[in-house]
Amino acid sequence: MKVTIGIPVFNCETWVAIAIQSALDQTWADKEIIVVDDGSTDRSADICNSFGSQILFVRQPNRGGNVARNQIWRRSSGNWIQFLDADDYLKPDKIRSHLDSCACRMDADILCSATIFEDWRDGKLASQKVDELKEGCDWLALWINWSLPQTGGCLWRRQALEQIGGWNEQVRCNQEYELYFRAMQNNLRFQVAGAPLSVHRIWSENTVSHRDKKALVHGKRELIQRFLRWLKHEGRWTPNYQHLAGRSCFEMARTLANEDLSLATSYYRERKREGLMQPEGPQAPWKYSLALKYLGFYPTERLARSLKQAKTMLSRNSLQGACDTIL
């Protein structure tokens, strides 16, 4: 089985060579590497060109990552496609681990493994964690929890991508979840496969997914609402999904409050009327939950914001005091 490893690139000169080399280093022999540069203005294109005939390198005007990804699958000749962001990388046995673990169960359309997350700060690896993905998992619940594998964690059957029309070129944020949503709507078959051997770097607030936080939050909010409406329409709505959705909507309200508190308050009230507000998890520590119970969402968020600002100011003053003492 031939595997296409596809890497979309936009202004990623720091990492792209590592991504390409990790694709070339895959121990699965029958592979091709397609790299599509989406109008980079830094040295990314020159770095890609330096790999010569080892890769198929394509350049296009800046039209977005999903256009580049669709270029990859349309040009591919592989039975399976591995998408890899240019600032991420794969461990050498990633693809072999996927395909070997499913050698007797090749009716799946999407082979998924957990992702390794690396947190980089000031050019150095600060921490690392590994996601969990267990056999027999509830894929719909994972979607609601926003816990499906990151892009590099999956192998897509080429025919399955064709069936759903590839990546949505109008979507610039939350692209994976929009694609997963359409995969579920079309009854594509997900399968847990292989070890966590794809690495996703979190290294900059200036990446596409972080640059426009308001668009990211609003897009996620709308996508979640569409997904929940679809579950209800299909008769797949359960008390457990309602509980998970309530927690997800609460987290979304808190995230939205950082960008637009008035809109977040309206969102909180609307979802609460629908029975979709469940203050739980890391976003609901007991002090916050207590304030929410007696004050309501808007005053509690104002209070939380004031306390956070005060804490930041005290921290800066303490640091300044320590510097003055040293100096």
Whether the pLDDT of residue 87 is over 80: the answer is yes
Please list, in sequence order, all residues whose beta carbon lies within 8 angstroms of the beta carbon of residue 38, skipping any fewer than 6 positions away. 8, 9, 10, 60, 62, 63, 64, 65, 67, 68
In contact, 66 and 175? CB cutoff 8 Å: yes
In this prediction, residue 243 carries a pLDDT of: 96
Report pLDDT digits (tens) over 185-208: 999 999 999 899 999 998 876 555
In this structure, which long-range contacts are made by residues 51-55, counting pairs with CB atoms below 8 Å and at least 24 apart in sequence? 51/20, 51/24, 54/24, 55/20, 55/23, 55/24
In this prediction, residue 59 carries a pLDDT of: 97
Q: Please state the pTM of the whole predicted model.
A: 0.90
Q: What is the mean pLDDT of residues 69-98?
A: 96
Count CA within 13 A, CB hemisphere, residue 294: 6
Whether the pLDDT of residue 313 is over 70: the answer is yes
Q: What is the mean pLDDT of residues 223-251?
A: 95
In this prediction, residue 326 carries a pLDDT of: 37
Separation between Cα atoms, residue 68 and residue 237, nearest integer Å: 35
Do β-strands 154-157 and 56-60 pair in parallel, antiparallel, or remain unpaired?
unpaired
Q: What percent of the chain has pLDDT over 70?
A: 92
Q: Name the E strands within 67-130.
A: 80-83, 89-90, 110-112, 115-121, 124-130
Please list, in sequence order, all residues whose beta carbon lies within 8 angstroms of the beta carbon of residue 21, skipping any fewer than 6 positions away. 89
Mean pLDDT is lowest, of 17-31, 39-53, 310-324, for 310-324
Whether the pLDDT of residue 286 is over 70: the answer is yes
In this prediction, residue 323 carries a pLDDT of: 45
Report pLDDT digits (tens) over 159-177: 999 999 999 999 888 999 9
Separation between Cα atoms, residue 48 and residue 68, nearest integer Å: 15
Separation between Cα atoms, residue 73 and residue 54, nearest integer Å: 18
Taking all residues of the chain, what is their mean pLDDT, rounded to a whole number?
91
Separation between Cα atoms, residue 209 and residue 227, nearest integer Å: 20
In contact, 41 and 68? CB cutoff 8 Å: no
Whether the pLDDT of residue 110 is over 70: the answer is yes
Whether the pLDDT of residue 293 is over 70: the answer is yes
| 190-192 β-sheet, strand order | 56-60, 31-38, 3-9, 80-83, 154-157, 110-112, 190-192
In this prediction, residue 327 carries a pLDDT of: 36
Whether the pLDDT of residue 246 is over 90: the answer is yes
Collapsing DSSP states into helix, strand and coil, what is residue 255? helix
Query: 141 versus 135: which is more confidently predicted?
Result: 141
Reading the block at residue 122, the tokens are 């000031």
In contact, 166 and 73? CB cutoff 8 Å: yes
pLDDT band at residue 27 under the 50/70/90 scheme: very high
